[in-house]
């Protein structure tokens, strides 16, 4: 929250010559500053909300796409070996083991067969909807912008920071 508030302040500062000042000489942020901050920081906001880090999320989305392409309608019951995924996605063995361990620890995939010496067979047990998460965040932010646009000037004049205190916009 403070990071976003500071980013809005930076956007306002970049446009300082196009912004008005209040009676105390402080720059007044406009709705366009907030909209610009959201558009610039949107991916960062989503990454903060997502429990998977960036590279792990990218791999997980590639894995889901690969299983959809290989198994068609039955992709959500697909069982796969790490060798199959390594060859299909052209990922190094070390990197794939790291991704598989992380996804297993986070309960996104689990071993459902195989053996330690011959390799395990895995299955995705949590098919999250990353695009749905992005859409929900985008909708929520758009709703907040609309609420700011339709609010009276006295309601918009202040913003709350992380500690809950009010600061001038």
What are the distances in angstroms from CA 161 to CA 29, 73, 76, 148?
A: 15, 47, 43, 16
Task: Enter the pTM of the model.
Answer: 0.71
**Beta carbons within 10 angstroms of residue 29's beta carbon:** 21
**102 and 86 inside one domain:** yes
**15 and 75 inside one domain:** no
**Residue 103 domain boundaries:** 54-124
pLDDT in the model for residue 110: 96
**118 and 59 inside one domain:** yes
**59 and 116 inside one domain:** yes
Number of domains in the chain: 2
Residue 20 falls inside a structural domain: yes
More confident of the two residues 163 and 120: 120
Residue 132 falls inside a structural domain: no
Q: Is a pLDDT exceeding 50 seen at residue 165?
A: no
Q: Is a pLDDT exceeding 90 seen at residue 25?
A: no
- Which residues lie across from 113 on neighbouring strands? 121
Residue 145 falls inside a structural domain: no
Residue 81 falls inside a structural domain: yes
CA separation for the pair 37, 11 (Å, rounded): 7
**59 and 120 inside one domain:** yes
**44 and 63 inside one domain:** no
Q: Is a pLDDT exceeding 90 seen at residue 105?
A: yes
Residue 14 falls inside a structural domain: yes
What is the three-class DSSP state of 162? Answer: coil
**30 and 88 inside one domain:** no
Residue 139 falls inside a structural domain: no
Residue 91 falls inside a structural domain: yes
**93 and 74 inside one domain:** yes
**79 and 97 inside one domain:** yes
**67 and 118 inside one domain:** yes
Residue 61: closest CA among 159, 131, 161: 131
CATH code where residue 97 lies: 1.10.10
More confident of the two residues 5 and 107: 107
Banded pLDDT at 148 (limits 50, 70, 90): confident
Residue 135 falls inside a structural domain: no
């Amino acid at each position: 929250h403070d990071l976003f508030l500071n980013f809005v302040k930076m956007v306002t500062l970049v446009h300082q010559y196009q912004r008005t000042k209040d009676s105390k000489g402080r720059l007044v942020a406009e709705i366009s500053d907030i909209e610009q901050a959201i558009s610039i920081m949107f991916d960062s906001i989503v990454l903060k909300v997502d429990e998977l880090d960036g590279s792990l999320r990218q791999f997980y989305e590639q894995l889901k796409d690969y299983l959809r392409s290989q198994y068609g309608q039955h992709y959500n019951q697909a069982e796969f070996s790490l060798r199959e995924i390594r060859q299909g996605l052209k990922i190094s063995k070390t990197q794939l083991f790291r991704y598989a361990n992380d996804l297993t620890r986070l309960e996104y995939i689990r071993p459902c067969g195989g053996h330690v010496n011959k390799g395990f067979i895995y299955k995705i047990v949590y098919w999250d909807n990353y695009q749905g998460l992005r859409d929900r965040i985008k909708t929520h932010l758009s709703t907040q912008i609309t609420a700011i646009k339709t609010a009276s000037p006295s309601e918009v004049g202040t913003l709350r920071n992380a500690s809950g205190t009010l600061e001038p916009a």
